[in-house]
Homo-oligomer: A and B are copies of this chain.
Amino acid sequence: MTISSAPEVSRPIMTVDVVLLTLKEGELLCVLAPRQASPFKGVWTLPGGWVNLDKDSNTEESATRILKEKAGLTVPYLEQLQTFSGATRDSRGWSVSVAYYALVRLEDINETSVKLQLAPVESFKNLPFDHGLILNAAVDRLRSKSLYSSLPAHLMPALFTITQLQRVYETLLGAVLDKRGFRRRIDELDILELVSGVSSQDGHRPAQMYRLKNSTPNHLSTATSNLGGGA
């Protein structure tokens, strides 16, 4: 047996799917693209595609390439979600899909001319393949990470107020948060940078504008134990 021969067994179909999420008017939206080939040709699905062994040096690059090709954008946040596999999930045969999820600002999507569909994440139950499962897993992950991380900030426009940020967290968590406590937490996270020009002619008293700091670690340093006290 030579080194380069290898497979005694045949190889599965290998794809990448991306759950691209954004926020519009307090609603979490998922981006769908029309499938370009059978099966499900023309049906709205999660943007996805084959792993291209020539172009991609790993599956994360596949994901960024697919996002560039199908949605015309470079995302600020991309994370591997989970790998879905099985003999029956794709009618073409035994298949493996490495799923990623990405967060973008709404403004970045609107710039693209590609035709995409944006729909509330609760709105579809009947996506092709197991894309419904994948979408649910992504939304669950985002929601649970919202509890203890600065992840949701990636959904904000370039400049925003703290109250706007609070509305986003409230949407994701499905709960009303206390203003004082929220600001304390955001302060401790130290992820926001004050922008001198104010704004929000909307209400009455104008609010201070912020932007996301450059190096955002995405994770709160809640590494403080929690299990019975230190030494």
Q: Which of B50, B94, B148 contacts A53 (CB 8 A)?
A: B94
> Does chain B have a CB within 8 A of A8?
yes
**Is B147's CB under 8 angstroms from A227's CB?**
yes
How many A residues touch B, CB cutoff 8 Å? Answer: 65
Residue of B nearest to A182 (CB): B228
In the complex, the answer to whether A50 meets B177 with C-beta atoms within 8 Å is: no
**Chain A's interface: helix, strand, loop or mixed, by majority?**
loop
Q: Which of A20-28, A85-93, A108-116 contacts B (4 or more CB under 8 A)?
A: A85-93
The answer to whether the Cβ of A179 comes within 8 Å of any Cβ in the partner chain is yes
> Are B58 and A9 neighbours in the complex by a CB distance under 8 Å?
no
**A51 with B12: in contact, given A3-B39, A59-B85, A93-B4 (CB under 8 Å)?**
yes
Q: Are A50 and B175 in touch, CB under 8 angstroms? A: no
Does A215 interact with chain B (Cβ within 8 Å)? no
B-side contacts of A173, CB under 8 Å = 225, 227
CB of A137 to closest CB in B, whole Å: 11
